[in-house]
Amino acid sequence: MQLLKNKVVFLTGGTEGIGYECAKIYHKAGAKVSLITHKESSLQQCRMQFFNDDIHYILADVSNPADVQSAIEETIGHFGRIDVIHNNAGVSSPSKTVCGTTDEEWDKVFNVNVKGIYHTTKFGIEALKQSRGTILNTGSLVGNIGQELHAAYTATKGAVNTLTKSMALDYAPFGIRVNAVAPAGVWTPMLRRWSNQQPNVAHIENYLDEIHPLGYCPEGDVVADACLFLISEQARFITGCILPVSGGAELGYRKYMGQQVQKNDVVLPVDKKEKS
């Protein structure tokens, strides 16, 4: 069964990582997909791997209102409608405390992760009212539980969570559902870049496996499966939901960071520095 047959999806950050996995599964489910990215190289690489008449590529920066307005109009001109806006574009850098973050770094993270949603909604809402469509935001578990050395990023993802709920209330009268997915660790190009920025690079892969009680840090396809469900008619009575796609990591963060190691019948605390 094609859950998205004849639907049109406007997908930001769609040429790599979770977005790319979503693009593939949406297309397989019958959707026409407009893929938005600000990276020319990523767009061209994705086009070589994933070229089809039902896939439309647009170079645009979600933090730029003119770019987003143009991309929405181009999508409607190309496909005739929009049924889904999936706000997946995001940045995670810098890995810093509040005091270590510059004004420029702070603004960049918020302009992409939060204001990008503002832009796509502002320019795409009329199309969604016509189609009684849906909005999906890619959040993060750290928007609920916080994370060391990621003040700006976690603040944006907390904002995404509450924004999702407010939008769900605002647009429910128009039959528009608004939800979010909240992954923990997912192996994407962005996560690999993040890993190399951490103080203890040698331990980061083991750390990312261990924070998930199911035992491993997944690839983006597990998130894409959840996204497909939320934008399909299978989730027709779900709105305002922040769905963890985390392998139980909201439990594992606490268990792993505070766990104890027993050696020779003496319980010793784990050195947190080795696990951060």
Q: Return the domain boundaries, the chain.
A: 8-190+218-247
Q: Label residue 48 by pLDDT band (50, 70, 90).
A: very high
Query: 8 is written with which tokens?
Result: 């049109």
**Which residue would you say has higher pLDDT here, 147 or 123?**
123
Q: Is the pLDDT of residue 209 over 90?
A: no
> 3-state SS of 27-59?
HHCCCEEEEEECCHHHHHHHHHHCCCCCEEEEE
149 neighbors 195 (Cβ within 8 angstroms): no
Among 39-53, 57-71, 205-219, 252-266, top mean pLDDT goes to 57-71
| Least confidently predicted of 83-97, 111-125, 172-186, 189-203 | 189-203
Catalytic site residue from 26, 57, 118, 153? 153
Q: Is the pLDDT of residue 1 over 50?
A: yes
**Which pLDDT belongs to residue 266?**
33
**CATH code at 8-190+218-247:** 3.40.50.720
Q: What is the pLDDT of residues 85-102, one digit of tens each?
A: 999 999 988 989 999 999
Left, alpha or beta for 116 (phi > 0: left; psi -120 to 50: alpha)?
alpha
Query: 145 is written with which tokens?
Result: 């539980």
Whether 153 is catalytic is yes
Query: 37 is written with which tokens?
Result: 């990215």
Residue type, 237: F
Q: Is the pLDDT of residue 272 over 60?
A: no
Q: Averaged over 166-187, what is the pLDDT?
A: 94
* Residues contacting residue 10 through CB under 8 Å, at least 6 positions apart: 34, 36, 71, 72, 75, 82, 84, 85, 86, 120, 124
